[in-house]
């Protein structure tokens, strides 16, 4: 089970069952064991070579109160879980870590995040490292469920989500089926890029591994999204994507140059404050920068691919 933001005052609950007849039902309320409300959703599934997924449920619930603990259960049975909705105004706390995978270091990172009083987790790509072995998506889901079922996890794709097989399988099939983000709610035509708002922050999730040139759907969507940002309502403007544009590490040098050439002018013109990226398995933070130079009006770039 994991949850994500799905528009104003709404949460999407996602979970997987082995039973195809299990209902896409979420019962919820503000007291343990008392479910005053319910929501119904839809299902999907996919096959990948010899693998067949379980039934993947996505159910949007709400409207919900801000900064409130809700108790819920999925499918009309099973264990009771709980989550806390983000606040309506500052302060708001984000936990940010990319490139999680499934190692002992992953557990250490999750243990650290668990100690934080955070409201939303931001993940700039590379989730499960399943890398074509689809059961890896299931083990990853179980690994992160204790955290991802209790706070919204907002993710974007990395290179390890692609899993394409030329002439046979398009990329991102497992990612798109399992980790549905609020792309429709933000006017995007693709689950690979979208935006959302929480408290006083407008957060843009971009795709390093889908088309981004100035003729692409993603580029045109980004222009439209940025033009609608109200900095009086959301004074903080954040962007996340997988491949860093500024990187002093020896790994993955200059891989983000073409995306930066296309999209950095748009983000700079909109006054983006902070940009988070993953991909490089290290931590790095720049001063304010634009077009390869220090710039007092540029964004601070943070590489946080050390999950």
Which residues are known to be catalytic?
Answer: 252
- The alpha-helical segments, DSSP class H, found in the chain are 104-115, 135-148, 173-178, 217-227, 257-270
Before 63, cis peptide (omega within 30)? yes
Phi-psi region of 174 (alpha: psi -120 to 50; beta: other; left: phi over 0): alpha
* Beta-ladder partners of 197: 202
Structure tokens that stand for 42 in this block: 């839809």
SS3 label, residue 302: strand
State the DSSP code for 86: P
Q: How far is CA 44 from CA 10, 132, 179, 296, in A?
A: 20, 19, 11, 47
Q: 107-136 as b/e, with b when 16 or more CB fall inside 10 Å?
A: eebbeebeeeebbbbbbbbbbbbbeeebeb
């Amino acid at each position: 089970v994991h949850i994500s933001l799905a528009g104003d005052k709404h949460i999407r609950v996602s979970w997987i069952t082995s039973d195809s007849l299990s209902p896409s039902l979420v019962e919820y309320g503000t007291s343990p064991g008392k479910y005053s409300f319910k929501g119904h959703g839809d299902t999907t599934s996919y096959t990948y070579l010899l693998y067949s997924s379980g039934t993947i449920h996505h159910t949007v619930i709400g409207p919900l109160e801000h900064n409130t603990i809700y108790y819920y259960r999925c499918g009309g049975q099973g264990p009771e879980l709980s989550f806390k909705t983000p606040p309506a105004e500052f302060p708001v706390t984000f936990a940010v870590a990319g490139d999680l995978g499934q190692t002992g270091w992953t557990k250490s990172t999750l243990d650290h995040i668990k100690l934080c009083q955070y409201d939303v987790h931001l993940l700039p790509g590379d989730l499960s490292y399943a890398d074509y072995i689809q059961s890896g998506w299931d083990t990853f889901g179980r690994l992160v469920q204790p955290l991802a079922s209790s706070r919204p996890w907002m993710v974007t794709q990395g290179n390890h989500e692609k899993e394409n097989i030329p002439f046979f399988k398009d990329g991102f099939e497992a990612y798109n089926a399992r980790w549905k983000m609020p792309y429709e709610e933000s006017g995007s035509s693709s689950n690979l890029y979208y935006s959302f708002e929480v408290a006083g922050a407008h957060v843009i999730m971009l795709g390093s591994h889908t088309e981004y040139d100035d003729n692409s759907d993603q580029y045109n969507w980004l222009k439209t999204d940025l033009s609608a940002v109200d900095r009086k309502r959301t004074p903080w403007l954040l962007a996340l994507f997988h491949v860093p544009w500024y990187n002093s590490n020896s790994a993955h040098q200059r891989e983000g140059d073409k995306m930066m050439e296309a999209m950095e002018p748009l983000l700079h013109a909109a006054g983006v404050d902070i940009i988070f990226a993953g991909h490089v398995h290290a931590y790095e933070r720049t001063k304010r920068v634009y077009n390869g130079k220090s710039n007092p009006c540029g964004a601070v770039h943070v590489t946080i691919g050390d999950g």
